[in-house]
Amino acid sequence: MHDKAEITDSHCHLDFPDFADFADFADELAQVIARAQQAGVTRMVTICTRLANEPQVREIAEKFAPVYYAAATHPMSVAKEPMARVEDLVALARHPKFVGIGETGLDYHYTADTKAAQTESLLVHIEAARQTDLPLIIHARDADQDMADILEREHRAGAFSCVMHCFSSGRELAERTLGLGFYLSMSGIAAFPRSAELRAIFADAPVERILVETDAPYLAPPPHRGRRNEPAFTVHTAQVGAELFGMDYSDFAARTQANFERLFRKAANPAGPA
């Protein structure tokens, strides 16, 4: 299917119970990461969704050289967690392997009742992205209009970089965020048979603004759909991306690598150990 060209899983959750519920968590992660590297996935960004869990996520990044991390309060967790503070996020960002602010955003699918708190939290994370010059990692579900309006308004007030993680929203949100210079990240959803409309949105986007991810342990692409997702499976989504853009797998992988390094500059030029 591919020639093991180097590629990055720009978004996964290696601390989630699907990986942790083993007698030897460290050994399970070591095997997951080894399989990723064997497939050509040379870097992974593991995402902390509750700031209280940041120490555990940081420990994973410190233990495994290919792993970087980001942290935020996920919009679905806002009501259950203390409101994030800009100064705390800025302090976390001093760690050499902390490479992004997120995932934050808006989710009206399950948690529309917390819209106001989600917006407040999102604005905190946007300001942290500005102050740290790290990319914002956005989760958006059933909130396209509000998401686009807030990002456009805030970008006018002070620029920041951003990736729309696991993009599966509508064409208007894609076009408005691309218009701000943001990136769209392609997950296993883009490889699902019924995702033709989503694939068309990606195909019309500039290839210079495309990243790939797993969102592991969720959303495993075919032929692994229904199983626990893991970073090695990034290659299956990337193969779909290569086909969409009419590119050889190795060329598409190289393009997404360049895109990742342009956006996640800290991961492209890592400092020494913490």
Pairing of β 41-48 and β 136-141? unpaired
**pTM: predicted TM-score of the whole model, two decimal places:** 0.95
Whether 80 contacts 118, CB under 8 Å = no
User: pLDDT tens digits, residue range 205-248?
Assistant: 999 999 999 999 999 999 999 999 999 999 999 999 999 999 99
The Cα 128–Cα 51 span in angstroms is: 14
Residue range 167-171: average pLDDT? Answer: 97
Identify which of 43, 96, 46, 44 has the alpha carbon closest to the alpha carbon of residue 71: 46
Alpha-carbon distance of 92 to 96, in angstroms, equals 10
Nearest-angstrom CA–CA distance, 99 and 139: 17
Separate counts of helices (H) and strands (E) for the chain: 11, 8
Tokens representing 164 are 């729309």
Q: Smallest Cα–Cα separation from 8: which of 100, 89, 90, 106? A: 100
- Report the alpha-carbon distance of residue 69 to residue 160 in Å, rounded: 19
Q: Are 210 and 202 in contact (CB under 8 A)?
A: yes
Tokens of 170: 């509508």
pLDDT at residue 129 is higher than 80: yes
Q: How far apart are CA 184 and CA 199, in angstroms?
A: 12
Domains of the chain in start order, with CATH, are 7-268 (3.20.20.140)
User: What per-residue confidence (pLDDT) applies to 273?
Assistant: 43
The residue among 273 and 133 whose pLDDT is bigger is: 133
Distance between CA atoms of 69 and 96, rounded to whole angstroms?
10
Residues 169-195 as b/e (b if ≥16 CB within 10 A, e otherwise) read beeebbebbbebebbbbbbbbbbbeeb
Burial class (CB in 10 A: 0-12, 13-18, 19+), 50: middle
pLDDT confidence bin for 25, thresholds 50/70/90: confident
* Interatomic CA distance for residues 122 and 147, integer angstroms: 10
Lowest mean pLDDT, pick from 23-27, 75-79, 151-155:
23-27
Q: How confident is the model at residue 97 (pLDDT cuts 50, 70, 90)?
A: very high
- Kind and range of the H or E run holding 34: helix 25-39
Q: Give strand pairing partners of 212.
A: 186
Using left for φ > 0, alpha for ψ between -120 and 50, and beta otherwise, residue 202 falls in alpha
Which pLDDT does position 1 carry in this prediction? 42
Q: What percent of the chain has pLDDT over 70?
A: 96
pLDDT at 38 over 80: yes
One DSSP character per residue, 59-101 reads HHHHH-TTEEEEE---GGGGGGSPPP-HHHHHHHTTSTTEEEE
- pLDDT given at position 209: 98
Question: E strand or H helix at 8, and its extent?
Answer: strand 7-12
Average pLDDT rounded to a whole number, residues 3-24 = 88
The pLDDT score that the predictor gives to residue 269 is 80
